[in-house]
Amino acid sequence: MVKNYQALHEDKIFFGGAADVEDMVKNEGVEVVVDLRGEATECAYPDANVEWIQVPLGDNAEGPQDVLFQQAIKPCC
């Protein structure tokens, strides 16, 4: 099976694109999705029973991106 996402920390934190969320939920047991897409209005895999946290990074970020990124990863690390 080809994985289009990467394990970042002890197979507990994964990094991938929106198209990879369903595979991460089904194959890795992901329980929290931190979505960095500013334009997102819901989890990329809306049928998932996961906690969805949106921290919009990019050109239209509502604050310093380093602070937003720390907020995104703090609950899990």
Query: Domain limits of the chain?
Result: 6-76
> For residue 41, is pLDDT > 70?
yes
What percent of the chain is predicted at pLDDT more than 90? Answer: 51
Confidence grade of residue 21 (pLDDT, cut at 50, 70, 90) = very high
Instruction: Taking the CA atoms of 48, 50, 52 and 53 in sequence, report the sign of the dihedral they define.
Output: negative
> For residue 18, is pLDDT > 90?
yes
pTM, 2 dp: 0.77
Assign 74 to helix, strand or coil. helix
| 6-9/13-15 β-pairing | antiparallel
50-65 pLDDT per residue, tens: 999 888 876 666 667 7
